[in-house]
Amino acid sequence: MKRVSLEFREGLTFDDVLLVPKRSDITSRIQTDLNTRLSRNLSLNIPLISANMDTVTESGMAVAMARYGGIGIIHRFLTVKEQVDEVLKVKRSGSIMIENPYTVGPDQTVGSAIDYARDRDVSGLLVVSGGRLIGIMTERDTAFELNRSSLVRDVMTKDVVTADPGIAMKDAKQILYQNRIEKLPLVDASGRVRGLITSKDIRNTEDYPHASKDKKGRPLVGAAVGVKGDFMERTEALLDAGADTIVVDIAHGHSENAIRAVGHIKKGFPDCELIAGNVATAGGAEDLIGAGVDAVKVGVGSGSICITRVITGSGVPQLTAVMDCAKVGRDHDIPIISDGGTRTSGDATKALAAGASTVMMGSILGGTDETPGTVLTKNGKQFKVYRGMASLAASLGRKTKEGDVSPDDDLNDYVAEGVEAMVSYRGSVKDILRQMTGGIRSGLSYCGAHSIRQMQQNAEFVKISRAGFAESQPHDVSVM
């Protein structure tokens, strides 16, 4: 029988260390470059990802993350159709040209058309008959229509301004301006719709010059899948919808279930940019890379609402886990994602300096406008719900969607590894991303680095004591 080793490794997390300042030739932090790799073949303009949690990332958050240069991962606790719709909303939110605009038939009722548009979060629909464009129905056409049983043909705008599919963007802008319209259908010689350009999409392109985009100019977005049940069908549907990366989402990524799922997905969809995790050891990273992943997600038990370490006694402090996995990642040229334990821009900087290419955030973003859910008021203060995906409520919700809950189930059989909590309402995610990226840029300058890769080469950590940590905080003053 193999004996347990009595020699203990020391594991460190972010509060245990500081980065040693180095001589810097940077005169302004704007000189730093935050471009980084998300996976083997995908790059981001900032090293930040929103977590695939049901209280963090749906289309609203994913759109915001992409606009500011990062990416959001749509959580998997939706039906396949619901998750696909979330991906499509992101892709349509910033396309230079919408390739497959939503359409409606002339004989449909106004009520059904309005519901269809509202469900897809669009302000107008192209009216098509026999495959050809015959009109357009916008909010302006239905604003004062009281009879939902009226037909679309009776309220639509029939005289539609159109353009050829190959029109240049500057010419499209001119047509939109001259005709004081917001939507420009692209129609071929036979009258068939080939695309749609909107003034909103043009403005978004100009307002967010550093957005992360795919080859067609659409926002980048990822989506999570599980390791059992419909994960292959779900992956296919998400890729068809335009998802740029698939994340195999499992708490213990160094398991046969995860490795098997990665192998199946890579075999079925070899061109898919595949991320998997979570792991906390070099061996875990090595095995996932061997199975075919394009990036490894690192972090077990380090999240703010995760109690895996309390319940199971397992985990590795996050800084040590990132450093161990990053060494394997460098050997195979596979990026590492630090997932968990990040509370400040300083923590994110340390994770990047330790070898992570990107940092996944959950609780930092949890109270923002862009997260799913409504704002709650308690004792005069505003909050939003934030929960771990292994919490009791999340586990029951997941099983309910999968039709796997029975009235005879014993709640004692559910062993939660996460908790539910409330986080303070924080307004727009834009302000948090600015603070995070600003802090990371400053962190690079303190390390004498112009880029994340250069910081990783220059980084020197110093271990600190409890007194050193206390010294790092505001002290001997009353904070206002």
* Binding site residue list for IMP: 304, 339-341, 362-363, 386-390, 417
Residue 442 has a pLDDT of 96
- Report the distance separating Cα 126 and Cα 51, nearest Å: 35
- Asked if 366 and 423 count as a contact pair (C-beta separation under 8 A), the reply is yes
Residue 109 in tokens:
């009722």
Question: Domains of the chain by range and CATH?
Answer: 14-94+211-469 (3.20.20.70), 103-197 (3.10.580.10)
- Report the distance separating Cα 5 and Cα 21, nearest Å: 37
- Asked if 299 and 318 count as a contact pair (C-beta separation under 8 A), the reply is yes
- Asked if 300 and 315 count as a contact pair (C-beta separation under 8 A), the reply is yes
Among residues 371, 369, 351, the alpha carbon closest in space to that of 359 is found at 351
Among residues 25, 21, 26, the alpha carbon closest in space to that of 461 is found at 21
Greatest CA span in the chain, whole angstroms? 83
Among residues 196, 197, 189, the alpha carbon closest in space to that of 132 is found at 189
Cis omega (within 30 of 0) on the bond before 100? no
Annotated catalytic residue, options 40, 398, 426, 453? 398
* Binding site residue list for NAD(+): 249-251, 299-301
- Asked if 220 and 44 count as a contact pair (C-beta separation under 8 A), the reply is yes
Other beta carbons within 10 angstroms of residue 208's beta carbon come to 18
**Single pTM value for the model:** 0.85
Amino acid in position 222: G
* Binding site residue list: 249-251, 299-301, 303-304, 306, 339-341, 362-363, 386-390, 417, 471-472
Residue 412 has a pLDDT of 47
Among residues 146, 157, 114, 74, the alpha carbon closest in space to that of 371 is found at 74
Give yes or no: 398 in active site.
yes
Residue 476 has a pLDDT of 76
In 220-317, which ranges are continuous DSSP H helix? Answer: 231-241, 256-268, 282-291, 308-312
- Report the distance separating Cα 418 and Cα 387, nearest Å: 7
- Asked if 335 and 38 count as a contact pair (C-beta separation under 8 A), the reply is yes
Quote the strand ranges of 61-131, DSSP E: 71-74, 103-104, 124-129
pLDDT tens over the chain, length 480 residues: 566 566 788 999 999 999 999 999 999 988 999 999 999 999 999 999 999 999 999 999 999 999 999 999 999 999 999 999 999 999 988 877 888 899 999 999 999 999 999 888 888 899 999 889 999 999 888 888 788 999 999 999 999 999 999 898 889 999 999 999 999 999 999 989 999 998 888 888 888 989 999 998 899 999 999 999 999 999 999 999 999 999 999 999 999 999 999 999 999 999 999 999 899 999 999 999 999 999 999 999 887 778 787 888 899 999 999 999 999 999 999 999 999 999 999 999 999 999 999 999 999 998 999 999 888 888 888 888 876 655 445 554 554 454 454 555 544 444 556 567 778 888 999 999 999 999 999 999 999 999 999 999 999 999 999 998 888 888 777 777
Annotated catalytic residue, options 92, 218, 306, 441? 306
- Asked if 299 and 340 count as a contact pair (C-beta separation under 8 A), the reply is yes
Give yes or no: 120 in active site.
no
Among residues 120, 82, 126, the alpha carbon closest in space to that of 108 is found at 126
- Report the distance separating Cα 98 and Cα 198, nearest Å: 8
Query: For the residues of 85-98, what is the DSSP string, one character each?
Result: HHHHHHHHHS-SSB
Secondary structure letter of residue 320 according to DSSP: H
With 0-12 / 13-18 / 19 or more C-beta atoms within 10 angstroms meaning exposed / middle / buried, residue 477 is: exposed
Contacts of 167 (CB under 8 A, 6+ apart): 175, 186, 197
Place of tokens 């981001």: 44
Distance of CA 38 to CAs 122, 144, 293, 294, Å? 30, 47, 12, 9
- Report the distance separating Cα 395 and Cα 399, nearest Å: 6
Residue 209 in tokens:
């010059």
